[in-house]
């Protein structure tokens, strides 16, 4: 394919020719080639821009048929220079045509004047010699006048021929001179008939050949009209031979233009069909995935490629149908761009959410608060699923990092729990042995020493390590039962036992995994319990204010209610003490 510079040089060469009208076809071919090159460059640039915007969405570039250089955007100096040279050519052609139109109008007036003089000569001249001389002057004057407007040419030549015939056949001239002219004109017209017959044998196979045939046939017709009458005996044969051959030439010329018009009309219909197909695609867009958009885009691009393979339509419709096609393509690609913009926004929202989850997971992966962190990571994994896709470019990369952080935590927790399981198995043996020792403990008879011994058992129990939660309740129940039996035998107050039991419980919470979390949870539980008991106390106090306790049964009920309120008050104070102990440990 020729470059812009080569096409510009070719156009400059054509425009520099003397006969710019003869170069019209070559100029049009060069112009079409240049427009196709500009359209190809624009198509390539638009394709790269769409790939840069959404590489993941497999966006397709908009493709367009060549845009006329007169209305196309001029992107470089070669475009500007090409348009300048083309404008110069069009200006020269228009100037030549305007000048020809004026010359033809002037020539028409001049020839009409010659005809009026010839009419006057035929009607009024009596001197044969003077008439003939004047006729020769008028004939030369007629020949010296240039072309006339095409719409007047045939009538003008017919009327002038009629006047010539009338002059020669009604104004008698010397027979010898007339016979000489008739024989001479007969030979010239016979030679002209041979030329036209040779021209009629040519094939109108290319636009250049057709233009050559048009130029020669007009030239031969002009020569025919300038040659005078022939010998009467030969006239009909010469006339029929000339005009029969002329009709053959014009039939071939007209057939060429009919075929060209048919081709243009077929191209126009094909282009209009393309417009309807693109319009149908743009009007029935149901694509909801990248894959579906790619399939529809391939259809539109295929239509655009098919458009480029169709030749020119009729000149008056070519630009219109191209604009319709381009507008429908733009409707499709605008809808595609909007969909992918929304998809990118959706990807960005999901990416931002997942980046936040990833950063949090990375921050938690080294945590040793096993229960709280495990629950949080599981919740985050669910949030990750609900956040949607972050796009083909980022989704797998983010997920791999997120999973790596989660796996690091759970692997660490697994290793820790495996170690704890081994330790807990040993601790369980120790606790079972300690329970057996408590159960076998015999009181020495001194109450305080026995209580201190029991406290020592509690201290050893707290320091004996954790056991599996599935075994803890059973062991703890046996442990409590063994201690409570001894405390009962020693008659230790229930409040004291509860205080000692709470101390043991708090130590267990503190020494276990997620100790701080366990203490915080216990603190919240105690606080809620305090609020519940206080609410129950207030309700009972309100109830006491509503009843009449003047009767004996009423007085008994009042005492029972007061005893309950007092018990609730003691429980509240006990729980508040426990809450203070928990808060103190948390500090």
pTM for this predicted structure: 0.38
CA angle 211, 212, 214 (to 5 degrees): 65
Contact of 335 with 282, CB cutoff 8 Å = yes
Query: Which burial class, exposed, middle or buried, applies to 271 when counting CB atoms under 10 A from its CB (0-12, 13-18, 19+)?
Result: buried
C-alpha 164, offset from chain centre: 75
pLDDT of 46 higher than 90: no
- The predicted pLDDT at position 561 comes to 82
Compute the distance between CA of residue 112 and CA of residue 160 in angstroms, rounded to an integer.
Answer: 9
Query: Token pair of 423, please?
Result: 């330790």
User: What whole-number distance in Å separates Cα of residue 427 and Cα of residue 433?
Assistant: 10
What CA–CA distance (Å, rounded) separates 469 from 14?
A: 99
Does residue 438 register a pLDDT over 70?
yes
Cα(304)–Cα(60) distance, rounded to whole angstroms? 12
Output the six-digit token pair for 430: 């120790």
Q: What is the mean pLDDT of residues 410-419?
A: 86
Model pLDDT for residues 344-359, shown as the tens digit of each residue: 888 888 889 889 988 9
Q: For residue 108, what are the contacts with CB-CB under 8 A and spacing of at least 6?
A: 148, 149, 152, 156
Q: How many helices (H) and strands (E) does the chain have?
A: 17, 0
Residue predicted with more confidence, 52 or 526: 526
With tokens 């989704």, the residue in question is: 395
Query: Does the pLDDT of residue 112 top 50, yes or no?
Result: yes
Residue ranges of the alpha helices (H) in 445-514?
447-462, 469-489, 494-511
pLDDT, average across residues 298-303: 85
Q: Is 173 exposed, middle or buried (0-12, 13-18, 19+ CB in 10 A)?
A: middle
Q: Residue 313: count other Cβ atoms within 10 Å of its Cβ.
A: 22
What are 215-230's pLDDT values in tens digits?
998 998 898 888 888 8
pLDDT of residue 406: 92
CB 516 within 8 A of CB 572: no
Q: Regarding predicted confidence, which is higher, 528 or 295?
A: 528
Question: What's the rounded Cα separation, in Å, for the pair 61 and 52?
Answer: 11
């Amino acid at each position: 394919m020729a470059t812009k510079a080569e096409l510009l040089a070719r156009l400059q060469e054509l425009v520099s020719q003397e006969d710019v009208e003869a170069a019209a076809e070559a100029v049009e071919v060069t112009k079409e080639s240049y427009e196709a090159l500009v359209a190809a460059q624009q198509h390539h640039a638009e394709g790269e821009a769409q790939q840069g915007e959404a590489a993941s969405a497999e966006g397709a570039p908009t493709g367009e048929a060549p845009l006329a250089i007169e209305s196309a955007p001029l992107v470089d100096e070669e475009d500007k220079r090409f348009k300048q040279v083309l404008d110069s050519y069009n200006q020269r052609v228009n100037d030549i045509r305007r000048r020809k139109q004026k010359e033809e109008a002037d020539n028409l007036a001049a020839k009409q004047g010659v005809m009026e003089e010839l009419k006057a000569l035929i009607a009024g001249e009596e001197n044969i010699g003077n008439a003939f001389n004047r006729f020769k002057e008028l004939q030369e004057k007629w020949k010296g006048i240039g072309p006339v407007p095409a719409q007047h040419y045939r009538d003008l030549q017919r009327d002038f021929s009629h006047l010539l015939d009338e002059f020669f056949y009604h104004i008698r001239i010397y027979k010898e001179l007339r016979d000489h002219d008739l024989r001479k004109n007969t030979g010239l017209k016979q030679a002209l008939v041979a030329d036209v017959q040779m021209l009629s044998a040519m094939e109108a196979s290319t636009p250049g050949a057709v233009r050559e045939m048009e130029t020669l046939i007009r030239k031969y017709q002009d020569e025919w009209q300038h040659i005078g009458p022939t010998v009467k005996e030969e006239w009909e044969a010469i006339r029929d031979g000339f005009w029969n051959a002329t009709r053959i030439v014009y039939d071939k010329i007209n057939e060429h233009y009919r075929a060209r018009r048919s081709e243009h009309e077929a191209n126009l219909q094909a282009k209009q069909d393309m417009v309807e197909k693109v319009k149908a695609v743009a009007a029935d867009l149901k694509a909801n995935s990248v894959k579906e958009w790619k399939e529809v885009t391939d259809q539109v691009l295929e239509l655009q490629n098919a458009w480029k393979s169709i030749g020119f339509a009729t000149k008056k419709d070519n630009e219109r149908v191209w604009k319709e096609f381009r507008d429908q393509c733009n409707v499709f690609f605008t809808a595609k761009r909007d969909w992918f913009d929304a998809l990118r926004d959706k990807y960005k929202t999901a990416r931002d959410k997942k980046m936040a989850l990833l950063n949090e997971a990375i921050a938690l992966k080294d945590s040793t608060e096993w229960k709280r962190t495990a629950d949080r990571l599981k919740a985050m994994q669910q949030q990750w699923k609900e956040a949607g896709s972050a796009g083909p470019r980022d989704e797998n990369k983010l997920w791999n990092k997120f999973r790596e952080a989660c796996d690091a935590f759970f692997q660490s927790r697994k290793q820790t729990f495996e170690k704890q399981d081994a330790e807990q198995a040993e601790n369980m043996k120790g606790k079972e042995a300690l329970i057996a020792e408590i159960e076998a403990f015999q009181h020495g008879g001194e109450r305080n020493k026995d209580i201190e011994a029991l406290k020592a058992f509690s201290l050893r129990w707290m320091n004996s390590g954790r056991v599996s939660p599935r075994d803890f309740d059973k062991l703890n129940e046996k442990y409590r039962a063994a201690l409570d039996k001894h405390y009962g035998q020693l008659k230790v107050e229930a409040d004291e036992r509860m205080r000692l039991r709470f101390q043991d419980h708090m130590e267990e919470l503190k020494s276990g995994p997620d100790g701080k979390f366990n203490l915080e949870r216990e603190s919240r539980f105690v606080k809620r319990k305090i609020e519940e008991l206080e609410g129950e106390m207030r309700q009972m106090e309100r109830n006491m204010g509503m009843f009449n306790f003047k009767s004996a049964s009423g007085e008994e009920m009042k005492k029972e209610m007061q005893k309950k309120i007092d018990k609730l008050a003691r429980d509240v104070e006990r729980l508040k003490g426990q809450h203070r102990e928990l808060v103190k440990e948390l500090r």
